[in-house]
A and B are shown apart, each in its own frame.
Chain A
Amino acid sequence: AQSVTQLGSHVSVSEGALVLLRCNYSSSVPPYLFWYVQYPNQGLQLLLKYTSAATLVKGINGFEAEFKKSETSFHLTKPSAHMSDAAEYFCAVGGSQGNLIFGKGTKLSVKP
């Protein structure tokens, strides 16, 4: 069975600082991994996805994530936070039912 754990329900950074959002997964098959972003009262938007090609995946808005099989991790990073990055971020893994299985989310706050 597949599952996702996001460490830290809230993360706060200063504008210009490094953003690091943690995601660990469990999967009985080679995983397909995703990061989504959600702004208040909106749907989810795909940031990036890992589909067994390069282990370092670049996404939109300057975000990237690195797949580390030995650590079963897929952490999301951005070198310099911007105020517009404040949102909730979800990590997900492809599920055996044909769906995506989501973590509980991490709310990112960016301080001026």
Chain B
Amino acid sequence: DGGITQSPKYLFRKEGQNVTLSCEQNLNHDAMYWYRQDPGQGLRLIYYSQIVNDFQKGDIAEGYSVSREKKESFPLTVTSAQKNPTAFYLCASSILAGPPNTGELFFGEGSRLTVL
């Protein structure tokens, strides 16, 4: 079945460690996104990519990095520079790259990162 796969679903990290969250899609979508979700704050955009080998910062990119070497993959690295990394991370993709975005986003099941 087509969809978006995020892994791992749960991840624990010690302070000072980098961690990479995986996001793979087989929908043949051009655009991919990373959002961060905190209770009561909705979804905030971290990074997005509209084409392979290109990506742009979202509203809260500090302390995060991404790559887009393949159309189907958009991994997110949470670096030690991120001051409060404990959150639920959601990856999404869309067929229409915008702007403005006129198409729906398809979401993965999310990855919950906890910093110990």
Which of A's residues lie within 8 Å of B, judged by CB? Answer: 2, 9, 29, 32, 34, 36, 41-46, 49, 51, 90, 94-105
Contact = CB atoms under 8 A, between A and B. Distances in A.
A9 B42 CA distance: 10
Given A96-B98, A104-B41, 4 more contacts: A32-B102, A43-B107, A95-B100, A99-B105
Interface class of chain B by DSSP: strand
Contacts, number: 80
A48 to B, nearest CB: 10
B7 to A, nearest CB: 13
Contacts of B100: 2, 29, 32, 94-96, 98
Given A32-B100, A42-B109, A99 B58 contact: yes
B50 to A, nearest CB: 6
B42 A105 contact: yes
Interface of B: 4, 6, 31, 33, 35, 40-43, 45, 48, 50, 56, 58, 88, 90, 92, 97-102, 104-110, 112
Interface class of chain A by DSSP: loop
Contacts of A101: 45
A34 B105 CA distance: 10
